[in-house]
Amino acid sequence: MLPEATLDGIDTIVIGAGIAGLTAARQLQRAGQRVVVLEARDRIGGRLHTLCTDGLATDLGASWIHGIADNPLFDLVESFGLATREFTVGSFQPDGRPIAYFDPNGQRLSNAACAAFVQDVRTVDAQLAIEIAASAPSTSYEDVVERSLARMQWDEDRRERVREFLRHRTEEQYGVWIGDLDAHGLDDDQVDGDEVVFPDGYDAVATALASGLDIRLGTVVTEVAWAAEGVRVTADETLVATRAVVTVPVGVLQSGDLTFVPPLPATASAALVGLRMNAFEKVFLTFPERFWDEGLYAFRRQGESGAWWHSWYDVTSRDGSPTLLTFAAGPAARAIRGWDDARVAGSVMTTLHETHPDAPAPTKVQVTHWQDDPYARGSYAYMTVGSRCEDHDLLATPIGGVLHLAGEATWSEDPATVTAAYRSGHRAAEHILGRTLPFT
């Protein structure tokens, strides 16, 4: 089926120049292979995308390393000498750093009320772990949350505060409505050590990884044919090689824009069915002056008014301009699809004015559009109801000795993250070389 295996002298074709692809390519090239990276966009980094304007770096894709302890990605960042800044509030923590809460009436919670609420979240979280462990297949996260709340001898208002917190956590962590996430969909949701962000932009990691690699930008791959002899990859031109590492997001794999000939085998295709790209957009609002308290990492809104816009993160330290970051996640992100920035800002400000009536109009608004990006099709993948944690790793099972899938969605331990992408690219290189490799 494939052409005579002269193979253009390429050992491995890597599809996608995000963190997974660059990591695999770098390891393989270091091991002496001839590697070519094919990337659809006119830039590297994929879902790491830093916009630099007037010296200000804004991360439109990933911002955080969610836990730097025992994290090979952080070790890599340090080995590159990249600057990071502690900002341990990226995993929807209820506390641990200064976070203010406003009640459903828009009044700020006292310290005592805040502590009591956080304790309620912890109590339900402990029960949740038990309910999740005991849950039957095809149970949703909403089901286990409701079972946990039902065990609390609390009044409905007290239950509702925790319910909405867990709903918002599901949305911010996975960009999905709580009823659409599998009960095990947040199993990986733990942070070891501090979280950090990148003052000069996260995509510096991609730039450093890409050094010395043969990367062909603007190259949209439409077909990967594979057989025992190797792979034939079709883009503007056709390249053949001994093998391929495919790192495109799950949404691209499911779209039909990139086809496999023959189709992916049952192990991979069955695992793929359970994963879906989410809806998760960032909204940055820069103001002429600060109208929230100094020293807060974040503030959150409880109650019906906070259904869409409930959490604001102070990212002023980027360049000193008072700036809040909020997220449209899950249903809110789906609903604002197609809105212009002014309409999004108007919606956010309506909620903000309830707690901060004197908030001035923002001078600058930036909204991301990952749902409309044909090479991402969302921000990251979540587990639909009925899928299993191990589906992520199953996707990465080497296929026919020549095809390797990698990327954030192929790593079970902490999928959906840059760390997962990094580890998955590293694993693909290990599978190909047949030995373990050092990370840095």
Ligand X SMILES: Cc1cc2nc3c(=O)[nH]c(=O)nc-3n(C[C@H](O)[C@H](O)[C@H](O)COP(=O)(O)OP(=O)(O)OC[C@H]3O[C@@H](n4cnc5c(N)ncnc54)[C@H](O)[C@@H]3O)c2cc1C
The binding site for substrate comprises 327
Of the candidates 10, 33, 36, 39, which one interacts with ligand X according to CB under 6 A?
Answer: 39
Dihedral (CA of 311, 312, 314, 315) sign: positive
Query: Cβ closer to ligand X: 162 or 258?
Result: 258
Rounded CA-CA distance 173/57 in Å is 23
* Minimum distance from residue 372 beta carbon to ligand X (Å): 12
Span near ligand X by CB under 6 A; candidates 127-135, 249-257, 313-321, 384-392 = 249-257
The residue among 38, 29, 4, 26 whose CA lies nearest residue 247 is 38
Q: Reduced to 3 states, what is the DSSP secondary structure of residue 400?
A: coil
Residue among 7, 15, 231, 271 that touches ligand X (CB under 6 A): 15
Binding flag, residue 51, ligand X (CB under 6 A)? no
Instruction: State the nearest-atom distance from the C-beta of 187 to ligand X, in Å.
Output: 16
- 261 CB neighbour count, 10 Å cutoff: 13
| Spatial CA neighbour of 249 closest among 280, 228, 225, 207 | 280
- Closer CB to ligand X, 352 or 416, in the complex: 416
Q: Which residue has the tokens 């249903």?
A: 331
CB of 189 to ligand X, least distance (A): 12
70-105 burial, b if ≥16 CB within 10 A, otherwise e? ebebbebbeeeebebeebbbbbbbbeeeebbbbbbe
Residue span binding ligand X (CB under 6 A) among the ranges 76-84, 298-306, 373-381, 396-404: 373-381
Q: What string marks each residue from 207 to 246 as x (binds ligand X by CB under 6 A) or -?
A: -------------xx-------------------------
Binding piece for ligand X, criterion CB under 6 A, among 32-40, 107-115, 124-132, 341-349: 32-40
Q: Which two tokens stand for residue 264?
A: 């992916």
Instruction: Find the shortest distance in angstroms from Cβ 359 to ligand X.
Output: 24
Burial class (CB in 10 A: 0-12, 13-18, 19+), 114: middle
- Among the listed residues 149, 239, 244, 258, the single contact to ligand X using CB under 6 A: 258
Closest approach of Cβ 160 to ligand X, in Å? 28
Q: Does 362 bind ligand X (CB under 6 A)?
A: no
Q: Least distance (Å) from ligand X to the CB of residue 196?
A: 10
> H or E segment at 251?
helix 250-255
| Residue labelled with tokens 């990605």 | 73
How many angstroms separate the CA atoms of 414 and 403, rounded? 23
- For ligand X, the binding residues in 53-92 under the rule CB under 6 A are 61-64, 66, 90
Beta bridge partners of 102: 108, 301
Which neighbouring-strand residues pair with 404? 245
Please state the length of the chain.
440
- Which one of the spans 80-88, 118-126, 311-319, 371-379 is the region binding ligand X (CB under 6 A)? 371-379
In the set 170, 370, 382, 402, which binds ligand X (CB under 6 A)? 370
Positions touching ligand X (CB under 6 A) are 15-21, 38-41, 46-48, 61-64, 66, 90, 220-221, 247-249, 252, 257-258, 280, 282, 368, 370, 375-376, 379-380, 407-408, 416-419, 421
